[in-house]
Amino acid sequence: MKNLKALIVDSSPSYTNLISAALLEIGLRTENIFATKRYTSAREHLTDTKPDLLITEFQIDSKFGLELVAIHTTNNPNNISIIMTHNNSSSSIAEAAEELVDDYIVKPFQSGMLATRLRNLIDRKLNPSEYIKHIREGKQALFDGLLKDAEHKFSTALQHQEKPTLAHYYLGYTKFKETEYQFANDEFIKGLELQPLHYRCLTGKFDTFYEQKDYNSAYTVANTIIENYPIGPKRLGQLFISAVFAGKLDEVPHYFQLFAQLDHKTTELRHVFSAALFTAGRSNLNNKALVKAVECFELGVQVLGADSDYISKIVKVLLRGDAQAVHQAARFLQQFPANKVGSKEYENLYFLFNCKTLPLSKVIDQGRKMASQNRMDAESYETFIRLLVSDNKTVLAEDIIERFHRAYPDRQRTSEKA
């Protein structure tokens, strides 16, 4: 016991002192007890010090203590984690985070009570119950790919616990691995009937709906998860995809703050979220809600950064709108990456914008110059040809069509139709 290292994460000095006293009482050394009141500092301790025992508040600096627990468990699956809560609501959530957290404690508490609880907890960790033994054996069978053996172990575990929520989860997960999704969902539901916010059963239910492309149900479950637990980049990306396919486009921008709070934003997540925001923006534009559309597009640029392809998509979709939408397109054109302003991509995008904003004579001058220098892309050619035909500039249109055929022989149908 004396060699164990502990980390206390609590904003209250008085509670930190109480916990330190309890740890000393059960045999830890003073030099092995570390304390901090900040989330960032706690992460650093977990990485550098690698304590055996973590005692953390439910929320620290607007972050979840469960995020620290996840890091702590990754360091060593045998590490011990305890969540401290201030009310029954958060304690219910901590209790429902079964297997992620070894124990939870509701404040206020006494140092002596905590010392007794810590001793019992360490004893349970070293001498597991029959229920936990069967769960562990089932998990090993799962790891070895022996799904039927795993199913038998988890079914046996059901008989050794009054509220065997975790066993229901693992039975469901085993069925999920066997692609028996309805049976899997039935087990997750049984677990949630025992503990309505059980983390693993909620995530299992979400994964089952998502795998079956039942995005509306997946989206509903995902919202329950994010209201009560931290969420990682992969599942957040799945939430965005579910929102789009479930038709919840108006709600997509509301998740920007959740995205912004993530410590690690993967490239894949940035692309998924920005795509969802673009889809939401385009939908708002189609519904004549320009202000909402622009908000979605602006957030998308913040998520992805000054990406030329993304900004081009935004500008082009705005150019298909009314005069106000075209005016907004100018804002995004100004956000084009500075190192690409002289590129062919930018020149063509600027030409499309000019087609909507400049007199035809100036558009013709720019179009002729670009065509003669082989700077036009297919979309600019098509747009230019339509403008010329609509204004009865037949001779010039025929010349541009001929150039278009030479540059893009596979795109003749559009020019012939014009």
37 vs 123, more confident: 37
The CATH label, of 1.20.140.10, 3.30.365.10, 3.20.20.70, 1.25.40.10, for the domain at 129-212 is 1.25.40.10
pLDDT category at 168 given cuts 50, 70, 90 is: very high
Q: Is the pLDDT of residue 123 over 60?
A: yes
One fold for 129-212 and 229-341: yes
Q: What is the pLDDT of residue 246?
A: 95
Which of 116-125, 291-300, 320-329 has the least mean pLDDT?
A: 116-125
Q: What is the pLDDT of residue 411?
A: 73
Which whole-number Å values give the CA distances from 394 to 379, 390, 414, in the listed order? 19, 9, 16
Q: What is the pLDDT of residue 286?
A: 95
The CATH superfamily of 6-127 is Response regulator (3.40.50.2300)
CATH tag, 229-341: 1.25.40
Segments making up each domain of the chain, as ranges: 6-127, 129-212, 229-341, 360-418
Rounded Cα distance between 349 and 354, Å, is 9
Q: Is the pLDDT of residue 412 over 70?
A: no
Do 357 and 326 contact (CB within 8 A), yes or no? yes
Q: What is the pLDDT of residue 413?
A: 57
Task: Please tell me whether residue 103 adopts helix, strand or coil conformation.
Answer: strand
Q: Is the pLDDT of residue 89 over 60?
A: no
Q: Is the pLDDT of residue 181 over 80?
A: yes
Mean pLDDT of 343-369: 95
Mean pLDDT of 150-160: 96
pLDDT in tens, 209-243: 999 999 999 999 999 998 888 788 888 999 999 99
Per DSSP, helices labelled H in 229-289 are 233-245, 256-260, 267-286
β-pairing, 53-57 vs 33-36, is unpaired
Q: Is the pLDDT of residue 415 over 60?
A: no
β-pairing, 80-85 vs 33-36, is unpaired
pLDDT category at 324 given cuts 50, 70, 90 is: very high
Do 43 and 210 contact (CB within 8 A), yes or no? no
pLDDT in tens, 29-87: 999 999 999 999 999 999 999 999 999 998 888 888 888 998 998 888 778 899 888 76
Cβ partners under 8 Å of residue 87, min gap 6: 106
Q: What is the pLDDT of residue 64?
A: 84
149 vs 232, more confident: 149
Q: What is the pLDDT of residue 128?
A: 87
Do 231 and 203 contact (CB within 8 A), yes or no? no
Q: How far is CA 89 from the centre of its chain?
A: 25
Which whole-number Å values give the CA distances from 329 to 80, 286, 354, 364, in the listed order? 54, 15, 11, 21
